[in-house]
Structure 1
């Protein structure tokens, strides 16, 4: 096991698959803005079943409700960088849930496995 690389903040945005921003998927806009903001990374996860504030269950098992499955966008970076990104989410997310969790980064490295390297755009890891 590698030694910890430090404390971080995990930002999770729970939205619906059909949520859009200017006719594009909302999750895609969040990922692109996170990238532009220089955050360490973002991942989108598609749920197979869930419900939110509407209490309507969306599931991939029923064709009639499968068009708005749950989506989670997860971003992990240093706390100041994540908090600086929050105003953009205020603009984008009109329905959904946004959570922040403290976490500990154990390993963060590029494709070559070398910690502390920068990517092609010169972004540094946590």
Structure 2
């Protein structure tokens, strides 16, 4: 997941540096998906390391750690942008280039893996 999310963001950076326009179906939603997905996965790994090193979950808000609540918000954002990206990709499927189609497909594949992963670790639980 990390590689796919980071690769999409790197591809977008290269596209912008070259001055090429955004392809149909590849607007803001895929960029947000890649950014929130990458932040969630890396933040989760960082949180696990923090808890393992300090043996405390950090500051609490109610009965939950603040960092965990932030990860849950990022997870919700990732899930919403997954749906928006899939919808945009579906609507523009005839007008996208093969390269854009492959990049969006890889991004959606990573987000399809992300959702069960987040459910397993409890990031989508209320």
Same fold (TM > 0.5): no
TM-score by length of 2: 0.27
What is the TM-score with the length of structure 1 in the denominator? 0.27
Instruction: Answer 1 or 2: which has greater strand percent.
Output: 1
Query: Which structure has more helix as a fraction of its residues?
Result: 2
